Structures are given as C-alpha cells and as structure tokens.
C-alpha cells in the first residue's frame, strides 16, 4: 500500500503553519511502515488530482486565497470527481471559503451549496469545538468569512465547518493534526483503511498526547475562552 499526498499551495496558503499537518502524517506513516509519496505543488504546476489519496490546503492571506482560487477554478470538475470517489481532503482556515458557490461576490468552485460574504466583525480567537468525531478540537480562528445558505452538508466540528464523505473542511488552524491527537488518530485510520480495508491499524501511542490535550482544554475552559458545544 502507498498513500499519495498533495500539499497544495504550500507557499501561499501556509499562514499558520498548516504544512505541519503533512509533517505529522509523515511521522506516523513512517512509524506504521506505510509507504507514501508527498508532492508540494502550487500555482505554477499542472495538477492531476486523480493521482492522490489526500489533498491538503491551509490558510492564507485574502490576496493569496484569490490567486489560488483562480488557479483551482480550471480543476473544479476534477475536484468534485475526487470528492465523489471518496478521496480525502483536509482543508483548513480560510481555504474552506473557496469550495462554495461564491467568495465575496466572485464565482468560486461550486463544490458545496454555500456562499461566503465578508463579515463586519472579524473572528480572531482560540476555540474549543466539541463534536461527534472526538472529544474536542482545539485551535485558532482568524477570518472575516460569513458562510450563508450552508444547509446541504453536515458540519464537521459542532456547528462549524463541512464534513461530506471524506472531505474535512474547517476554519480551525494550528496545525489541527498536531494539536488534536484524537482527531489525528481518527483521520489517519480512516485514510489508511479507505486504501486497504484489511490494513491492521496499530495504536499510535498517543496516550500522553491525549492526556495533555485534555488537561490543556480543561484549563483553557476555566479562562476567557470560546467553547462551543454541538
């Protein structure tokens, strides 16, 4: 088995170090003795989404997001085909806004039935999101996106983000996999089993990471902190 990963716009959409998600995956794939290829591609590259099992895009400036969106528009049919084929996407930060119908009045990828307008109030805060996938998600949000008419797909974490098939989209940055060991374990297991249903997924030995994560969140909840519940 080999996992083919695309880290897309690593140079333009990495405002909060979301390429760290790739490093975390690489580390655990090595420990599990799973072969992998990782491509780092950007707007000067021709994309072939059919090659990949997982695509990651992180957060960027507004200018960079529109540069990347203009590059992605020519591939929207390929992206939809990949999603429908149950391939994996991990889309973090304001990159999620590119996957709706409109972004600030401009045509977007039209993968999902939502539009994004610019909010008067900017969200810039640490968050704890309780959800059905794992006990809680911790991370950071910093964006001005207001999602409208998002009623056709399930939220990812509580009332936030989008989860459809194996598309995981969230405004949480951090990077999310390094900060959330339960979600990392869940996500990696789902990815590997989708590639080989007989794969014997070994314990990632994250007991200390999970304990530290839990204790940190409980500490944060006692402070001035935004905690949302599904």
* Residue 40 burial by Cβ neighbours in a 10 Å radius (0-12, 13-18, 19+): middle
Average pLDDT, the chain: 91
> In this predicted model, what pLDDT tens digit does every residue of 134-184 receive, in sequence order?
888 999 999 999 988 656 567 787 788 999 999 999 999 989 999 999 999
Predicted confidence at residue 223, as pLDDT, reads: 63
Residues in the chain: 230
Is 220 a residue whose pLDDT tops 80? no
At 153 the pLDDT is: 65
Mean per-residue pLDDT, 19-38: 97
Q: Across residues 115-133, what is the average pLDDT?
A: 89
Phi/psi of residue 100, each to 5°? -90, -165
**Could you tell me which of 155, 125, 176 has the C-alpha nearest to residue 229?**
155
pTM: 0.92
- Domains of the chain, start order: 2-228 (3.40.50.880)
Q: What is the pLDDT of residue 74?
A: 96
């Amino acid at each position: 088995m080999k996992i083919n990963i695309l880290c897309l716009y690593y140079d333009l959409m990495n405002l909060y170090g979301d390429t760290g998600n790739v490093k975390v995956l690489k580390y655990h794939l090595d420990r599990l003795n799973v072969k992998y290829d990782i491509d780092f591609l950007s707007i000067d590259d021709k994309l072939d989404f059919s090659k990949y099992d997982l695509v990651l895009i992180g957060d960027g400036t507004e200018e960079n997001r529109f540069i990347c969106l203009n590059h992605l528009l020519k591939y929207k049919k390929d992206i939809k085909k990949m999603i429908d084929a149950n391939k994996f996407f991990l889309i973090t930060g304001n990159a999620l806004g590119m996957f709706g119908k409109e972004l600030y009045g401009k045509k977007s990828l039209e993968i999902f039935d939502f539009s994004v307008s610019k909010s008067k109030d900017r969200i810039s805060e640490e968050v704890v999101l309780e959800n059905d996938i794992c006990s809680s998600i911790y991370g950071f949000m910093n964006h001005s996106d207001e999602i409208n008419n998002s009623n056709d797909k399930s939220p990812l974490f509580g009332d936030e983000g989008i989860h459809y098939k194996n598309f995981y989209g969230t405004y949480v940055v951090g990077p999310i996999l390094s900060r959330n060991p339960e979600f990392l374990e869940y996500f990696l297991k789902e990815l590997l089993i989708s590639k080989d249903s007989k794969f014997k997924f070994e314990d990632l030995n994250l007991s200390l990471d999970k304990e530290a994560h839990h204790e940190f969140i409980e500490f944060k909840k006692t402070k001035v902190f935004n905690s949302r519940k599904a």
